[in-house]
């Protein structure tokens, strides 16, 4: 049974930092030499990101970091090679402070977009890989949005950039089993809390890409005809590429969560995507050429390039994803909801495929049908 996505809401932090201001502010936390600074500048320039939101940015970009006031500003200049920045505990305190307000903002926007009364929500699915606290965002949404206190809660945690695919799969299960279910799925990610100190190339790449944001959707059974859907979720699928555990990981360290990101990831996607996606689409009688729109998670410019090459797409097919990356950065699991929201502006009707990639190396896909957009 298909599921209607009847509303989408997104929220980014009020303050954003231009990408090269972020480089200037943070270079002394990573670089030990002029060569490091030269390479880091090239990484930031080639990231495809022009601006990023962070809950840690003040009124001015330079407020992101100050060497002269370690008490007022969360990040500070590195003192020595053994300085790895704030502890994970300190970073999680920031997550607990800032995650819920951003989640509320996107959820309110989704409810408004769907014309949905918050008191009709029966289930909440929350998604995040960038922080932990309990009572968490799910309970906070019940309290702050005035939801029924019997609302069921499920959290999808620590799955990475494809977490919202799994969150929507959970929502799909709820609506398939109960035609009266109305599900709020909310993803919130504060990736800027995990800025890595010291020089490791893959972590500097992560520093250059990741940002903060929240996306939410309202999901209902496709049997309900009283609202026009933004999208109809037809099918979802997942594929774990063999022998790729090395390619991407996300682990908890003493000074934030640590990403490893192999330079082979784009090639692995290009080599494996079509052979898995072709039979996935064939189950609905579709081919790659039948797809009207592509909502691809913009993990970075090379990820988008690999999808473009593998699927023989034109640049216009990945334009919405590139625009989201440019304007907001990679907001991990929330990003795909920004891309789907942006695609509504293109008024694409017909089959849409959403793709995401995460630790494993895992490929996640959703087949959606866009109607009345």
* Burial environment of residue 302 by CB neighbours within 10 A (0 to 12, 13 to 18, 19 or more): middle
**28: enclosing H helix or E strand:** helix 19-30
Handedness of CA 109, 114, 119, 125 (dihedral sign): negative
3-state secondary structure of 57: coil
Distance CA 322, CA 7 (A): 23
Instruction: Classify residue 197 by its DSSP letter.
Output: P
Q: What's the CA angle centered on 271, arms 266 and 275, to 5 degrees? A: 130
* Burial environment of residue 198 by CB neighbours within 10 A (0 to 12, 13 to 18, 19 or more): middle
Question: Which of 287, 249, 251, 244 is closest to 267 using CA atoms?
Answer: 244
Catalytic, 161? Answer yes
Check if the beta carbon of residue 125 is closer than 8 Å to that of residue 246: no
Placement of tokens 């006031």 in the chain: 69
Instruction: Record the tokens describing residue 309, joined without a space.
Output: 């090459």
* Burial environment of residue 38 by CB neighbours within 10 A (0 to 12, 13 to 18, 19 or more): exposed
**Looking at the DSSP assignment, which residues form a beta bridge with residue 232?**
4, 369
Distance CA 370, CA 344 (A): 9
Which residue is catalytic, options 30, 161, 186, 191?
161
Distance CA 246, CA 272 (A): 16
Distance CA 108, CA 121 (A): 12
Chain center to CA of 173: 21
Rounded to a whole number, what is the distance in angstroms from the first to the last CA of the chain? 21
Placement of tokens 């189950």 in the chain: 283
Positions marked active-site: 161
């Amino acid at each position: 049974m298909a599921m209607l996505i009847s509303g989408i809401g997104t929220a980014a932090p009020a303050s954003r930092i231009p990408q090269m201001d972020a480089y200037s502010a943070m270079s002394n936390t990573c670089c030990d030499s002029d060569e490091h600074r030269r390479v880091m500048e090239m990484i930031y320039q080639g990231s495809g990101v022009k601006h990023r939101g962070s809950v840690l940015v003040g009124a001015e970009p330079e407020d992101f970091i100050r060497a002269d006031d370690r008490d007022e500003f969360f990040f500070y200049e590195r003192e020595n090679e053994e300085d790895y920045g704030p502890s994970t505990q300190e970073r999680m305190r920031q997550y607990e402070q800032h995650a819920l307000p951003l989640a509320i903002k996107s959820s309110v926007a989704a409810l408004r977009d769907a014309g949905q009364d918050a008191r009709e929500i029966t289930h909440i699915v929350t998604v995040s890989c960038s922080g932990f606290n309990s009572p968490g965002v799910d309970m906070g949404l019940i309290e702050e949005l005035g939801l029924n206190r019997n609302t069921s809660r499920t959290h999808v945690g620590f799955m990475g950039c494809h977490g919202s695919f799994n969150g929507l799969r959970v929502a799909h299960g709820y609506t398939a089993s109960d035609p009266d279910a109305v599900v709020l799925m909310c993803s919130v990610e504060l990736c800027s809390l995990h800025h890595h100190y010291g020089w490791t190339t893959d972590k500097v790449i992560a520093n250059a890409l990741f940002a903060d944001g929240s996306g939410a959707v309202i999901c209902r059974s496709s049997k309900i005809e009283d609202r026009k859907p933004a999208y109809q979720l037809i099918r979802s699928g997942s594929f774990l590429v063999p022998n790729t555990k090395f390619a991407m990981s996300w682990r908890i360290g003493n000074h934030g969560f640590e990403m490893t990101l192999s330079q082979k990831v784009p090639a692995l996607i290009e080599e494996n995507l079509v052979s898995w996606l072709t039979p996935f689409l064939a189950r609905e009688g579709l081919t790659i050429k039948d797809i009207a729109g592509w909502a691809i998670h913009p993990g970075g410019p090379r990820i988008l390039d690999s999808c473009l090459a593998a699927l023989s797409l034109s640049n216009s097919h990945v334009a919405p994803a590139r625009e989201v990356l440019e304007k907001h950065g990679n907001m991990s699991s929330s990003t795909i909801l920004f891309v789907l929201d942006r695609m509504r502006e293109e008024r694409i009707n017909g089959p849409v495929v959403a793709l995401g990639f995460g630790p494993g190396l895992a490929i996640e896909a959703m087949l959606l049908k866009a109607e009345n957009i």
